[in-house]
């Protein structure tokens, strides 16, 4: 399926003609695609294809040179990351970030957006409301930790858990931010097969419950299994997009991504 050919029914994320250059290098070169609500969309491409740059552009970490990003029909181009997040787009990072001096439970509680206790004034002016919201968030965090089967980690220092467990915690924490679309940057990179399967199951379960995903992943088996549709990026532009089967048999993808061998 060629670029823009997907039916644009209900795109929760729409990227249109996005451009970004570093010096003379076009890292994102007129990229356009849409993520339909309720899908798990995969974003693949060879090393240096511009996947991470695209993630940074979408989530507001980079300012694009041209083009637009829409979340839920609202133009978020050029907004700060926290403003993009406020519109329902949450992202994770390739390297799990561990929070110093926090337990896993506390690290989870950074997730919920717009907590009353995050206002210095309200902290002292309305301690009751802050306490109530904190209790509610804590209960929700416990519930999600249980759903992810990592509730036994709750009181562990967040710096003390394995990389794979951290990926699970990241995903769990992102869910506390109640995303409409969740961008996952290599969710199973460096994760052992057991945890990778757990992550896959969780992504599927959350998707069934209504969360839309856009994920970058190098593990082809993983991405072909979990994602549909798949967007293929090469040299900063969208090479093609379509079903896993369609992408797998596309000669251009084989040329660009699989080196023409498989």
Q: Residues in the site for other proteins, rule: CB under 8 A?
A: 59-61, 80-82, 85-86, 90-93, 97-103, 105-106, 109-111, 113-120, 123-124, 130, 134, 155-157, 159-160, 173-174, 177
Q: Are strands 237-242 and 212-216 parallel, antiparallel or unpaired?
A: unpaired
Q: How far is the CB of 74 from other proteins (least distance, A)?
A: 15
Q: How far is the CB of 91 from other proteins (least distance, A)?
A: 5
Least CB distance from residue 127 to other proteins, whole Å? 9
Which residue's CB is nearer to other proteins, number 182 or number 247?
A: 182
Beta-carbon contacts of 225 under 8 Å, excluding residues fewer than 6 positions away, are 200, 244
Residue 158: CB minimum distance to other proteins, A: 9
Please say which residue, 28 or 56, places its beta carbon nearer to other proteins.
56
Please answer whether residues 50 and 28 qualify as being in contact, where contact means their C-beta atoms are separated by less than 8 angstroms: yes
Q: 185: which 2 tokens?
A: 């940057």
| DSSP for residue 216 | E
Q: Which is nearer to other proteins, 80 or 149 (CB)?
A: 80
Q: Is 191 exposed, middle or buried (0-12, 13-18, 19+ CB in 10 A)?
A: buried
- Asked whether 210 and 38 are in contact (CB, 8 A), the reply is yes
DSSP 8-state symbol, 61: S
Nearest to 74 by CA among 28, 29, 32, 11: 11
114 or 209: CB nearest other proteins: 114
What is d(CA 34, CA 37) in angstroms, rounded to the nearest whole number?
9
- DSSP secondary structure code for residue 96 in this structure: P
Query: Among residues 61 and 218, whose Cβ is nearest to other proteins?
Result: 61
Q: How far is the CB of 212 from other proteins (least distance, A)?
A: 17
């Amino acid at each position: 399926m060629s670029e823009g050919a997907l039916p644009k029914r209900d795109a929760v994320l729409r990227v249109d003609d996005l451009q970004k250059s570093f010096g003379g290098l076009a890292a994102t070169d007129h990229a356009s695609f849409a993520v339909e609500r309720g899908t798990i969309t995969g974003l693949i491409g060879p090393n240096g294809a511009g996947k991470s740059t695209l993630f940074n552009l979408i989530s507001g970490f980079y300012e694009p040179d041209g083009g637009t990003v829409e979340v839920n029909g609202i133009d978020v181009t050029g907004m700060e990351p926290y403003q993009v997040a406020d519109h329902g787009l949450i992202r994770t990072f390739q390297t799990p970030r561990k929070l110093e001096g926090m337990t896993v439970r506390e690290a989870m509680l950074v997730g919920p957006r717009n907590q009353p206790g995050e206002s210095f004034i309200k902290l002292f002016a309305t301690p009751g409301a802050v306490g109530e919201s904190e209790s509610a968030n804590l209960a929700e965090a416990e519930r999600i930790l249980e759903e992810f089967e990592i509730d036994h980690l709750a009181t562990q220092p967040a710096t003390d858990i394995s990389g794979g467990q951290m990926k699970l915690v990241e995903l769990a924490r992102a869910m506390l931010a109640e995303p409409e679309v969740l961008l996952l940057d290599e969710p199973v990179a460096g994760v052992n097969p057991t945890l990778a399967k757990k992550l896959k199951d969780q992504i599927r379960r959350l998707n069934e419950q209504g969360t839309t995903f856009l994920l970058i992943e190098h593990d082809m088996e993983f991405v072909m299994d979990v994602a549909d549709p798949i967007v293929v990026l090469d040299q900063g532009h969208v090479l093609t997009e379509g079903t896993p089967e369609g992408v797998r048999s596309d000669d251009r993808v084989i040329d660009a991504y699989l080196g023409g061998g498989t």
